[in-house]
Structure 1
Amino acid sequence: MSGHALVIGEALVDVVVRQDGTTDAHPGGSPANVAIGLGRLGRDVELLAYLADDDNGGLVREHLAASQVSLADGSLGAPHTSVATAHLDASGAATYEFELEWAVADSAAPRPEPLVVHTGSIAAVLTPGAADVRRIVASVRDTATVTYDPNARPSLMGSPEEATGAIEEMVALADVVKVSDEDLEWLASTWDVDAVARGWLELGPAFVVVTRGGSGATAFLPGDRTVSVEAPSVEVADTVGAGDSFMGGLIDGLWSAGVLGASRRAELRALSDEAIAAILERCARIAAITVSRPGANPPGSAELDVPPEDTQP
């Protein structure tokens, strides 16, 4: 299936602070990581971001270009390139602090007629850009599949009650939603995670995938169906970018299945449990490779043919 993907959202520089006091900096941002994952899997992908023409912006652009991700016209013009600081705990899990601005420039001009458009995380919630993200997504929905990952950042999104409205607006626009169990627990602490996922399914997506870290992932489908897969067992370096790698793998898997594009919505909804399981197993494999090495460093296609322990640098 030909065509290209449009990813909309933040690209920034991640500063990782480890328990031993060491730090390192590298490009990141949830939507940018998804675009990187797709580029490394051989897909034609464009990122609409909000960067400055500064040193950090140059670092991000070099990183995107190295993974064959093109930057949409109008992605420059921010006063400074955003920075996220990730503090790792003893297990490698990250908590974040942000120096971030998000907007969609008036000059933004992504390529027309993408096959799939993906967004999520800060870009779909943070003003002033969030309203423009929803407008762009709605404008391409007649021709493109829409995928969405809330990828909650509580320090930027306010209270769960404040974030829920914006997130559920995007869920209602999406054909496929991927969300972590941690995000659902934050958004709806008094509700069962599975119940929230089923509630989101009723808003319109073909299916909702809940990732559960080392416990695998579950797709919730109409008719009270579920499809679950296990996560490969690997030694975890850190979890930075794991969910984004999974999301990129999910888009790539649906691309290979030939069910992307608005004209294929019926085929997307008709995917068998076996087909979804095969896609999710590959997504879990991709995420396992990412967590087995430091930082948001998703694998290329060739790396999926070797054991995760052999893909570490």
Structure 2
Amino acid sequence: MSGSKGSTGLPALVIGEALVDVITGPNGSRRSHPGGSPANVALGLGRLGHPVRLATRVGHDDFGRLIRQHLEDSGVELSPGSVVDTVTSTATAALDATGAARYTFDITWALSATDEEALRDGPPTHVHTGSIATALSPGAEQVLDALHTLRTSATISYDPNVRPALLRSADRERERERVKQLVTVSDVVKASEEDLAWLHPGEDIDKTAARWARNGPALIVVTRGEDGARAWWRNGCQDIAPVPVRVVDTVGAGDAFMAGLISRLLHAGLLGGGPGAEAATARRALRAATATDRLPAALGDALVSAARAAALTCAREGADPPATEELGM
């Protein structure tokens, strides 16, 4: 497996949950797939040819073995300490007639002491995190601390991927503050319309995205389901047209979008760091690319590729992101 153009060839690092999606259909069908938003992003990056490491938490049980094999088959390396003596987490996704999923969770999230130590060794080129890993204590606090440390040697992407089934309305203010901190430390943020609506009920989504773009990241992308996506940066915004597809289910589509976006930005040298000043160099390049009111071709291509990756994932069961040859780009 080769490294990305514009990077040192050191692995990208994804921090976050890996679990098993137990998917139930409107007709009573039931099937199990490895999942977890960060694990899906790591899987997508591996299939797109990037050296990638996942810092996560899985057990020695059958579900844990299923996840490990699934990830290893696509070139994802687990960080030391990711396999622990615990039950592997699950998410039950109830699909409606349109293929949209509603989730309930049985999950514990924390980084092991071994994983925390490993994060300080062999700096990655790029770090991605999000979802439950950035919302559920005690792991959420560990992740934020890790990002502050790793930011000196790597660029950062973040997807809040809010899970209301794990959060009460009373938690909204606390989660809003946590998301704000994570947005501020990130270079690229992807969120869904549903994320922004839950975090800031009653506020115009475009207003929220524009504010985020002024508070740290060079690029904000809001996915809009069948309406495609919209990218925001300090000086403007641009719509990304949806890719027509016959939807089987939407499980993992946002994660495939994220992996496709990170991949193309790594190839363009707009993300990726490593020893010395390389992270700062990529960060400056991304800032320069979003310094005008129109996105340059490299960013436009990255967004189109991300939309295509999401569409291909929607066309098949479960979180099954495409490989490079399937994107045809």
Q: 1:126 aligns to what?
A: 136
Question: Cα offset for 1:74?
Answer: 0.9
Secondary structure at the aligned position of 1:107 is classed as helix
Within-5 A mapping of 1:220-231: 220-223=232-235, 225-231=236-242
Which consecutive aligned stretches of 4+ in structure 1 deviate over 2 angstroms post-superposition?
157-162
Instruction: Give the counterpart letter for 1:172 in structure 2.
Output: T
| The one of 88, 95, 98 aligned to 1:88 | 95
Answer yes or no: is the 8 Å Cα contact 1:51–1:75 preserved in 2: yes
Task: Map 1:124-273; keep pairs closer than 5 Å.
Answer: 124-159=134-169, 160-223=172-235, 225-260=236-271, 261=273, 262-263=279-280, 264-271=282-289, 273=295
The answer on whether the counterparts of 1:11 and 1:29 sit within 8 Å (CA) in structure 2 is: yes
Say which is worse superposed, 199-208 or 98-107, in terms of deviation: 199-208
Q: How many angstroms apart in 1 are the aligned matches of 2:87 and 2:181?
A: 29
Alignment partner of 2:246: what SS?
Answer: coil
Give SS of 1:270's match. helix
Whichever residue aligns with residue 300 of structure 1, its letter is A
For 2:217 and 2:168, how far apart are their aligned partners in 1? 25
Q: Please give the secondary structure, in 2, of the residue aligned with 1:289.
A: helix
What letter corresponds to residue 134 of structure 1 in structure 2?
Answer: L
CA contact (8 A) 1:228 1:277 kept: no
Query: Structure 1: how far apart are the matches of 2:304 and 2:328?
Result: 13
Distance 1:19 1:140 in 2: 43
Asked whether the equivalents of residues 245 and 298 of structure 1 are also in contact (C-alpha less than 8 Å), the reply is yes
Which residue of 274, 279, 302 corresponds with 2:325? 302
Larger displacement relative to structure 2 (253-262 or 113-122): 253-262
Matched AA of 2:185: L
Deviation, 1:161, is: 2.2
CA–CA distance in 1 between the matches of 2:85 and 2:321?
A: 27
Residue of structure 1 in register with 2:55 after alignment: 48
Superposed displacement of residue 305, structure 1: 2.2
Using the TM superposition, name which of 261-270 and 233-242 deviates more: 261-270
2:3 counterpart residue number: none
Higher RCO (CA-CA < 8 Å; seq separation 6+): 2
Give 1:37 shift.
0.2
Partner residue in 2 for 1:102: 109
Match of 1:9 among 16, 19, 23: 16
Task: Confirm whether residue 284 of structure 1 aligns to residue 307 of structure 2.
Answer: yes
Q: Distance in 1 between matches of 2:65 and 2:299?
A: 38
Query: What residue is the counterpart of 1:311 in the other structure?
Result: none
Gaps of 5+ in 2: 1-6, 274-278
Q: Hey, what's the Cα distance between the residues in 2 that align with 1:157 and 1:268?
A: 33
Cα pair distance change 1:78/1:228, threshold 3 Å: farther
Alignment deviations for residues 226-269 of structure 1 (CA, whole Å, 9 cap, x no partner): 12210111110000000000000111011110122222211011
- Measure how far apart 1:78 and its partner are: 4.8
Amino acid at match of 2:94: H
- Report how many residues are paired: 305
